[in-house]
A and B are shown apart, each in its own frame.
Chain A
Amino acid sequence: MASMTAPVVEAAGITKRFGSTVALDDARITVRAGETHALVGRNGAGKSTLVSILTGLQAPDAGTVDFGGRPAPRPADRDGWRRQVACVYQKSTIIPDLTVAENLFLNRYEGRRGLIRWGGVRERARELLATWSVDVDVRSPARELTVEQRQFVEIARALSFGARFIILDEPTAQLDAAAIGRLFSRIRDLQRQGVTFLYISHHLQEIYDICDVVTVFRDARHILTAPVGEVPKGDLVAAMTGDAYAAGPAARRRTPSASPVLKVSGDVTFEVKAGEIVGLAGAASSGRIELAEAIAGLRAPAETIEINGLRPRPGSVPAALAAGVGFVPQDRHREGFVPDMSIADNATLTISGRLGAFGFIDGRRRDAMARTLIDNLAIKTPGPDLPVSALSGGNQQKVVMARALAADPRLLVLINPTAGVDVRSKEFLLAKTEEIAESGTGVLIASDELDDLRICDRVVVMFQGQVVAETSAGWSDHDLVAAMEGVDLDV
Chain B
Amino acid sequence: MSELAVRVPPHIRRIALAHVRDLTLIPAIIAVAVVGQIVSPVFLRTDNLINVLQNMSEIAVLVLAESLVLVVKRMDLSLESTVGLAPGIAAWLTVPTGAGHGLGLLPGGFAIPLTLGVGIVIGLVNSLFIIKFGLNGFIVTLGMLIVLRGILTGISGGQTFFQLPDSMLYLGTNQWLGVPVSVWICLILFAIGIVVLGFTGFGRSLYAIGGNLDAARAAGIRTERVLWIVITTASVLAALGGLMLSGRLASVASAQGNGYIFTVFAAAVIGGISLNGGKGTMFGAFTGILLLYMIQNVLTLAGIPAQWIGALNGGIILIALALSRITGGKAQD
Contacts and interface: CB of A to CB of B under 8 A. Distances in A.
Nearest to B277: A340
A336 B199 CA distance: 23
A374 interface: yes
B200 A359 contact: yes
Interface stretch (A123-131, A281-289, A380-388, A425-433): A380-388
B217 A317 contact: yes
A205 interface: no
A317 B10 contact: no
Interface residues of B, number: 31
A317 B219 contact: yes
A340 B279 contact: yes
B218 A318 contact: no
B132 interface: no
Interface string A246-270: 0000000000000000000000000
B10 A382 contact: yes
A338 B215 contact: yes
Nearest to B279: A340
A385 B222 contact: no
A403 to B, nearest CB: 7
Interface in B202-224: 202, 204-205, 207-208, 211-212, 214-222
A18 interface: no
Contacts of B214: 334-335
A335 B11 contact: no
Interface in A368-390: 371, 374-375, 378, 382-385
B6 A317 contact: no
B215 A336 contact: yes
B18 to A, nearest CB: 8
A374 B6 contact: yes
B201 A353 contact: yes
B13 A385 contact: yes
Nearest to B214: A335
B172 interface: no
A198 B6 CA distance: 54
A358 to B, nearest CB: 8
B20 interface: no
B177 interface: no
Contacts of B218: 296, 298, 317, 327, 329, 335-336
B45 interface: no
Interface residues of A, number: 38
A469 B5 CA distance: 48
A375 B3 contact: yes
A338 B207 contact: yes
A1 B64 CA distance: 78
A184 B245 CA distance: 73
A359 B207 CA distance: 15
Contact of A349 (B9, B204, B279): B204
Interface string B206-249: 01100110111111111000000000000000000000000000
A371 to B, nearest CB: 6
A318 B10 contact: no
Contacts of A384: 6, 10, 14
Contacts of B278: 338, 340-341
Contacts of B3: 375
A320 B14 CA distance: 33
B2 interface: yes
B17 interface: yes
Interface string A327-346: 10100001111111100010
A360 B212 contact: no
Contacts of A361: 199-201, 204
Contacts of B205: 352
Interface string B172-214: 0000000000000000000000000001111011011001101
Contacts of A355: 201
A93 B278 CA distance: 33
Contact of A383 (B14, B202, B212): B14
Which of B6, B17, B205 neighbours the largest number of chain A CB atoms within 10 Å of its CB? Answer: B6
Nearest to B14: A385
A359 to B, nearest CB: 5
Contacts of A340: 207, 211, 278-279
Contacts of B211: 338-341
A464 interface: no
Interface in B1-29: 2-3, 5-6, 9-11, 13-14, 17
Nearest to A348: B204
B317 to A, nearest CB: 25
A350 interface: yes
B279 A403 contact: no
A360 B199 contact: yes
A455 interface: no
Given A360-B200, A383-B13, A335 B215 contact: yes
A383 B220 contact: no
Nearest to A370: B6
Contact of B220 (A336, A350, A374): A350
3 closest cross-chain pairs (CB), A and B: A383-B10, A352-B201, A338-B211
Interface of A: 296-298, 317-318, 320-321, 327, 329, 334-341, 345, 349-350, 352-353, 355-356, 359-361, 363, 367, 371, 374-375, 378, 382-385, 403
9 contacts: A317-B218, A335-B215, A338-B211, A338-B278, A340-B211, A340-B278, A349-B221, A350-B220, A382-B5
Given A353-B201, A361-B204, A363-B199, 6 more contacts: A320-B220, A340-B207, A345-B208, A352-B201, A356-B201, A374-B6
